[in-house]
Structure 1
Amino acid sequence: MSNHLTGTWALLKLALRRDRIMLPAWLAVLVAMAAGSAAATIPLYPTLAERIKASETINTTPPVVALNGLIYDESSIGAIAMVKLSGIGAILVAILAIILVVRHTRSEEDTGRLELVGSTVIGRHAALTAALIIGFGTNVVLGILTTLGLIAAGLPVAGSVAFGLGWMSVGFAFAAIAAAAAQVAGNGRAANSLAITLLGVTYVARAIGDTAGPRWLSWLSPVGWQQQLRPFAGERWSALLVSLAFTAVAVAGTYALAARRDLGAGLLPDRPGRARGAAFLGSPLGLVWRLQRAGLAAWAIGFLLLGLVLGNIASKVGNLLDNPDLQDIILRLGGEKGITDAFLAAEFGLASIIVSVYGVQSIMRLRSEEANTRAEPLLATGISRLGWAGSQVAMALFGTTILMFATGLGAGLAHGLALGDVGGELGRVLGAALAQLPAIWVLVGAVVALYGLVPRQVVLGWVVLLAFFLLGEMGPVLKLNQWVMDISPYAHSPKLPGPTLDYGPIFALVAVAAVLTAVGLVSFRRRDIVA
């Protein structure tokens, strides 16, 4: 076994050098988000009565519970302060773990670099081990820094440690999941898609378990395991063992899978292609479609299922409200329809963040094609630079549209069937989902601009996504100025379904997306190909 690990240290140092900008940026934002949320929330609820009232309102509002989870101690200021980050924050931690592990395993195989390195004195499992060390090590550092940040913000030590360990455990679980996905999938994009799909499925399972039930569904999710640690609510340290046991089993299984496959191949068999290519492959857009259609189909199926689940939950939201005071407020604000629309708007907002991941990943393929010298032979033919890059941009925009359409279609059908009014609800809910697209396209445009201007730093697109998301989610908690929060395109997305729609922000977002995309494409046209 030791021979299989030869060269792990060298690969680890190389990977850390490659991530010297991205990793500190992610860690700094996540830790600042946690500490800032705690520091901003503590003064808001100085008395026990205020804390209990806030907790009861959260726990009896299904949209909030579905997004973030339950507060297990309604008198705890720490539980209130960190409830949002135990849900949405855990998603970000999981995405970071997935990006890191796939980036240094399957993506390296796709480029051919791992085969080149493997021809030297590098062991068979060195790259996988180095990637797991980076994934686990990053989450250990994140857990420690988060714990220290929460303590510095004034939260209890035991709860702060539990929260830091909870985030760490989520990162561990999804690092192991990503490593296994890298063995099964046929390429890095498919591995990312598979791991993120599993993240979405398990998160939805947790949301159903915490709202509509049954409760055991929450135990099918690494995010649910983290929440069962119950930071600041009578810590249950034994829940950590579930996540660690899963990680150990998943890592052992990953090494077993790695021993059974060839370098550059996935365990899922590739189907042989036709003897003659289709006519549409003669165009850049046809080639992009051929390369990405399988992954897009998998994402679309996942989002269709997500929409069906969300629509089903939305139809039951009104029945789940058992707080008389809250019921009275909701009835005065528009009845059960008001809270149902609020739930769908919140869930579509979260779905738009995940769909943005697909958009970022799709645009970053431009950089991988260029760096791996696959772009240059194509551009040496009659294909123009704008035609080649524009095809990838068009696919990213089309793909994100398909995913939001699938989400809205599923939610509209499930909600309409439950209410017995498919015709009335489907169009309304589908329109609400599609209204999130302009904000997603702004992010796609930002990544295109990065690719055109600073191609070697296009990976910062993930940081841009994280920053936009945090400005929208944490800005009100941190009491940021409105102009700062308005930097995020998600802050301007319409909160639909609802009674009114202001087209001004939608047109503005589309214009910004178009300008950013144009800047990126023009810059790419003028610069040299960068290896």
Structure 2
Amino acid sequence: MTLTRLLVRRHRLLLACWPALLIALCATAQAYQDTYATEAQRHTAVELAQQSPASTLLYGRLPDPGTPAQLYVWEIGAFVTILAAIMAVLAAVAVTRAVEDDGSLELLRSCGLTPLRPLRSALTVLISVAAVLTAGCAGAIMATAGQVDGVTASGAAAFAVVVGLTFLLVASVTVVLAQVAPAAGQARLLGLLVVGAAFAVRAIADSGQLDVLNTVSPLGLRATVEPFTADRWAALLPGLLASMVLVATAVLLQARREFGAGLIRRHDTRTSRLRVRTTAGLTARLTRSSLLAWTVAVAAIGALFAAMGSGAIEQQRNGEVGGFLGSQLGGGDPAAGYLSYCGTLVGIVVSAFAVLSMLAAGRAEESGMTGLVLTAGVRRWVPVAAQAAVAAAGCAVVLTVTGLLTAAIAPAVIDGEDIAVRSLAYVVGQWPAVAGMIGCATLLVGAAPRLSALAWLPLLASGVLALLGDLLGVPGRVQQWGFFQHVPDVAAAAPDGVALLLLTGTGVALVVAGAAGVTRRDLRAG
């Protein structure tokens, strides 16, 4: 078995589930033809979307004349490219620094592997995934040719290449960061920060009509190429050249660093004494820096969307906002619908932090740190249970801070009743959903660590149901299985919180099951 095949086999869940999800999302163009069946509906939806600052911030500028194909690339394209970028970070770290840090690559090198061979195999895997994404997305879109207005072979191919090149660009940046960062965890964090910065640059470029900024953001490829509008193939060349330069840079850096270390030195020792008395205290101490970073980032995102919601709410009150945003605002109070939508976005982001926190428990077990904790007389189920408790508490902190900030900002820009109370409740009310995510991840990490990559599936499935369920025509009974659509309107006459109690109870039960699963298997060690 070659090293490339070994990497694919070891990370087959990650490399199969994420592309399958993205290709499935690309197969949803028919929903836009059904939603905007007449030219009048399209004209209204396009006009409202082009005048909405929140829509422009999230998806970019919608070009004229607004065919179903253009609306599809505008909305679904934004989600697909963001998810492709996140997948690129996770996959790039998994096939580079992660296999190096857990000791498996050291074992393989003892068999005579040349120093550069592991990086070449990792790059082969990433390029292959980009090719699969491109081919799969192109095929999924072309399946709707002739059924959706505006879908052409050239546009489908252009959008598919945008998705594949976005993945390849972010993966190349992450591979470079993997050579610089002191460990896999730091490389993963830096990669996600790059994705956040790329989104911010793209949002500024589209909101401020600074098109030149889109040329320097991996998430700006969709705006520069304009699939189904201009199909600018030449705009792909800078991204392709940039990825080649980044790959060459990664190869040069890899040859100039020590095995198992990055160009930035690790600071594993401190002169001050670490005073912790419990396993939960140790876990909290180790996660406090990432918790602070996530709190600041999520609070900023929540405040930004709350501050930009007045336009969409007024448009819904004066007319009908179609498409994605219209499905989120619903048929009731537009202010409540928009604040619920903001809470859903915050809940999805915080759930990502929760899943990453629980996957850290698996990495601690592989690195041997869990074994060291157990030598102090701690019971085997305690470390994973402590990680779950700290993750739940940390997510509560993030949601509370974000909820308070949005509650302070929203009443100043949004007209309506109980705006502050609703802002706080819709954000903080996502904690039971986050608890359910923690439970799913704990069950996999504790009872079936080899399947821990599947911890992302409940988050991705629930996010798709919450954000795209109505638009894609998913039955309401199916949408109810998602985690994020159960926060009631606290300003209603009789808000129903039974679903939140069920989510919390399910999360607790899954954590218990995951902790019990640790006691029934051997610990993994790198």
Instruction: Give the TM bin, normalised by the shorter chain.
Output: 0.7 to 0.9
Do the aligned partners of 2:54 and 2:305 also contact (CA within 8 Å) in 1?
no
Distance 1:323 1:341, change over 3 A: closer
Which position in structure 2 is the counterpart of 1:98? 89
Contact 1:307 1:411 survives alignment (8 Å): yes
Q: Quickly say closer, same or farther: Cα 1:512–1:212, change in 2 above 3 A.
A: farther
1:150 aligns with 2:145: no
Q: SS where residue 198 of structure 2 aligns?
A: helix
Q: Distance in 1 between matches of 2:41 and 2:421?
A: 41
The CA deviation string for residues 205-250 of structure 1, in whole angstroms up to 9 with x for no partner, is 3234333655555444322222332111222223222322332333
Q: 1:435 aligns with which of 429, 432, 441?
A: 429
Q: Give the distance between the partners of 2:414 and 2:35, measured in 1 at CA.
A: 43
Give the corresponding residue for 1:6: none
Map 1:136-215 → 2, pairs under 5 A: 136-154=127-145, 155-211=151-207
Question: 1:310-343 deviations in whole A, cap 9, x for unaligned?
Answer: 4554477679x6997569xx9xxx9xxx766655
Change (3 A) 1:190 1:439: same
**Which residue number in structure 2 is paired with residue 78 of structure 1?**
69
- CA offsets, 1:40-85, max 9 Å, x none? 3323334333333332233233333333233213342211233222
Distance 1:156 1:107, change over 3 A: same
SS of the residue corresponding to residue 246 of structure 2 reads helix
Residues 102 and 179 of structure 1 are in contact (CA less than 8 Å); yes or no, is this contact kept in structure 2?
Answer: yes
Q: Distance between the aligned counterparts of 2:89 and 2:204, measured in 1?
A: 24
In structure 1, the partner of 2:14 is 22
1:67 matched to 2:63? The reply is no
Structure 2 partner of 1:397: 392
Give CA-to-partner distance per residue, 1:477-530, whole Å, 9 cap, x none: 332222211111023245799999543332232122122222212222334435
Conserved 8 A contact 1:341-1:496: no
| C-alpha contact (below 8 Å) 1:147/1:164 kept by paired residues | yes
Shift of the alpha carbon at 1:349?
Answer: 2.2
Pairing 1:125-140 to 2, within 5 Å after superposition = 125-140=116-131
Distance 1:148 1:272, change over 3 A: closer
2:228 to 227, 232, 235: 232
User: Which structure 2 segments of 5+ residues have no match?
Assistant: 146-150
Residue equivalent to 1:476? 470
Distance across 1 between alignment mates of 2:218 and 2:358: 29
User: Structure 1 residues 496 and 316 mapped into 2: Cα distance closer, same or farther (>3 Å)?
Assistant: farther
Distance 2:180 2:407 in 1: 33
Match of 1:387 among 382, 390, 396: 382
**Superposed, which structure 2 residues align to 1:267-346 within 5 Å?**
267-271=263-267, 273-275=269-271, 277-280=273-276, 282-314=277-309, 325=319, 342-346=337-341
| Between 301-310 and 95-104, the greater mean CA deviation after superposition | 301-310
Identity %: 28
CA contact (8 A) 1:307 1:406 kept: no
Q: Deviations over 1:328-384 (max 9, x none)?
A: xx9xxx9xxx76665554344223223222211211122223334443343244101
Q: Does 1:461 align with 2:455?
A: yes
Q: Which amino acid aligns with 2:456?
A: W
Aligned partners of 2:114, 2:134: CA distance in 1, in Å? 30
Extract unaligned runs of 5+ from structure 1: 1-8
For residue 524 of structure 1, the aligned residue among 472, 497, 518 is 518
Aligned residues: 510
Q: Is contact 1:341–1:498 with CA below 8 Å preserved after alignment?
A: no
TM-score under structure 2 length normalisation: 0.86
- CA distance in structure 1 between the partners assigned to 2:2 and 2:490 by the alignment: 51
Q: Which moved more, 1:25-34 or 1:493-502?
A: 493-502
Report the structure, 1 or 2, having the larger helix content.
Answer: 1
SS of residue paired to 1:277? coil
Equivalent residues of 2:303, 2:406 under 8 A apart:
yes
Write the distance in 2 (CA, Å) between the matches of 1:408 and 1:221.
Answer: 30
Cα deviation digits, residues 270-327 of structure 1 (max 9, x gap): 33633463221x43223223332333333333334434544554477679x6997569
Rate the CA distance shift 1:323–1:497 in 2: closer, same or farther, 3 A: closer
Contact 2:158 2:233 in 1 (8 A): yes
What residue in structure 1 maps to residue 49 of structure 2?
Answer: 58
Question: Contact 1:303–1:406 (CA<8 Å) still a contact in 2?
Answer: no
The answer for the alignment partner of 1:31 in structure 2 is 23
Instruction: Give the 3-state SS of the residue equivalent to 1:382 in structure 2.
Output: coil
CA shift in 2, pair 1:494/1:191, >3 Å? farther
Amino acid at match of 1:144: A
